[in-house]
Amino acid sequence: MKNKMFYSILASMFLGIIVGIFYPDQMLSLRWIGTLFINLLKLIVLPLIFSALVSAITSMGGMKRLGSVGIYTTIYVLCSVSIAVLIGLFLLNTFQPGFGIPASFILANATPTDLKPVEFSSFLLTLFPPNIIEAAAKFEIMPIVFFSIVFSIACLYTGESAKPVIAFFVGLRNIFVKMIVWLMYLTPIGLFSLLGSAIAEASLQNRLLDSLKGMLFFIMIFLFGLFLQMAWQFAIIKLITKRNPKDFIRSASGALLTAFATSSSMATLPVTFIVAKEQNINEEVSRFVLPLATTINLAGTAMYEAVSALFFCQILGMHLSLISQVGVFLTAIVAGMGATGIPEGGLVTMLMVLRCVNVPTSAIALLLPFDRILDRFRTMTNVWGDLVCAATVDHFTSRKEKIIESNNVAKINFKEIKSTSRN
Ligand code: ASP
């Protein structure tokens, strides 16, 4: 994000907060602008994911390179989500914020929620829907990502006759990228409205502070956990990818602020692409890694699911054994990776984790009043993780290519020396 844009985004968010606090009614009447902005982002996301993935995979020049980018991405995502959950479990076990809070908070005050638990088998079935257009209409991202990957691999194997199709998707992607660049000019206005109306709503209902009371310690611990998660990834940027961390943060800030304002890593994806471009991350890599990471690399969400489950157990006076905590660890990883990058997407998959420790699902009602604000922070963490993932995968794949290249050069030189010495 260019400096000018960054400052205008900051100024517009600041203005949104001020207007939201002092003129809440007027601010709420401008809420439609934010909705329009999110609609425009979402409008682009699905075709962008499809065309970006197809053009990236088909341009990688074969399964070998695709395989190595895919493997690096999967390793990164698994490590990042596991570390996030471990940080969360460690903090909750150390500070135990739930003990001392009356169990009636969950048992009596909680109103039943209408969220349905997600079974693992039905979750797997959603990855392979019978009708891909219907899945797209429901904004189900996972099936689209899987379909795009299989479609692209089929294109690679089809050969000559698939070339016009590939060229079509490359053109389509370039058109969407152009549309994103135009859309970015609207970002300050969109964020002004989104943040301002959220503040206005909270201040009108006087809800924010009320709901924060009693839960403050838990919230602080969770936010600290997110901070640690972002911090170790920051270290990766500096120590492993050897990029300038200040520069990386400056570029990423546009995406982070958009994530904060939209509460959706999926809706932020167009902005995340721009950041990757600014950071000179190989486009083939970012076009493959970012849609995939946005879909499965929800480390902030996974941490939230684990800490909430443990928090509820502490409130209910349940002491979880090591084995049960390993169960929480594993389900939180799956639940985090299965949550969609949409606002409060993690709440639905959290039920999987709660079931694993036998906590009544109505406990979620305890989180609802302040979930919206926490969602903004975990979305920021998720988007930050996606960007670091792309930079890391880019680092390792380009290093591997350099090594292969230099080996090839060495082989050629060796052959030349041999043939000249024979002559
Ligand atoms: N809103 C989050 C995201 O889009 C998902 C969640 O934690 O609910 O990344």
- The model's pLDDT over 97-112, given as tens digits with 9 standing for 90+, comes to 888 777 766 665 445 4
Per-residue confidence band for 113, with pLDDT thresholds at 50, 70 and 90: very low
The more confidently predicted of residues 295 and 298 is: 298
pLDDT class of 313 with cuts at 50, 70, 90: very high
* pLDDT for the residue 255: 93
Return the best residue to mutate from 290, 301, 303, 333 for the ligand 1 pocket (most ligand atoms within 8 A of CB): 301
Atom of ligand 1 nearest to the CA of 298: 9
| Ligand 1, atom nearest to 294 Cα | 9
Query: Tell me: the pLDDT tens digits for 336-347?
Result: 887 778 888 888
Measured in Å, residue 272 CA sits from the centre of ligand 1 at: 15
| Residue 391 confidence (pLDDT) above 80 | yes
- For residue 341, the CA-to-ligand 1 centroid distance in Å is 5
Expressed in angstroms and rounded, the spacing between residue 144 Cα and the centre of ligand 1 is 18
Task: Report how far residue 350's alpha carbon sits from residue 359's, in angstroms, rounded to the nearest whole number.
Answer: 11
Q: Is 73 exposed, middle or buried (0-12, 13-18, 19+ CB in 10 A)?
A: buried
Distance (Å, whole) CA 334 – CA 350: 10
Nearest-atom number in ligand 1 for the CA of 344 is: 8
As a whole number, the mean pLDDT across the chain is 84
pLDDT in the model for residue 13 = 83
What phi-psi label fits residue 100: left (phi over 0), alpha (psi between -120 and 50 degrees) or beta? left
The DSSP letter of residue 109 is S
Gap between the terminal Cα atoms of the chain? 58
Amino acid at 175: I
- pLDDT tens across 7-33, in order? 888 888 889 889 988 898 888 899 899
Of the listed ranges 134-138, 275-279, 348-352, 417-421, the least confidently predicted one is 417-421
Measured from CB, residues less than 6 Å from any atom of ligand 1 are 263-265, 298, 301, 339, 341-346, 375, 378-379, 382
CA dihedral 284, 166, 44, 396 (to 10 degrees): -10
Q: Which atom of ligand 1 is nearest to the CA of 264?
A: 4
pLDDT in tens, 339-386: 778 888 888 778 878 888 888 877 887 787 778 789 999 999 999 999
Q: What is the pLDDT of residue 114?
A: 45
- What is the pLDDT, as a whole number, of residue 419? 66
Task: Compute and round to an integer the Cα radius of gyration of the chain.
Answer: 23
Cα(157) to centroid(ligand 1), Å: 36
247, pLDDT greater than 80: yes
pLDDT over 90 (residue 223): yes
Q: Which domains does the chain have, with CATH numbers?
A: 2-422 (1.10.3860.10)
| 414 Cα: distance to centroid of ligand 1 (angstroms) | 54
Residues 67, 149: contact at Cβ < 8 Å?
Answer: no
Q: Looking at residues 122-143, what average pLDDT do you find?
A: 78
237 vs 354, higher pLDDT: 237
Which numbered atom of ligand 1 lies nearest the CA of 378?
A: 7
Which residue lies with its CA nearest to atom 6 of ligand 1? 346
Query: What is the C-alpha separation between 263 and 268, in angstroms, rounded?
Result: 9
Q: Which of 112, 381, 337, 369 is nearest to 218 (CA)?
A: 369
pLDDT for res 214:
62
Helices and strands, number each (H, E), in the chain: 19, 0
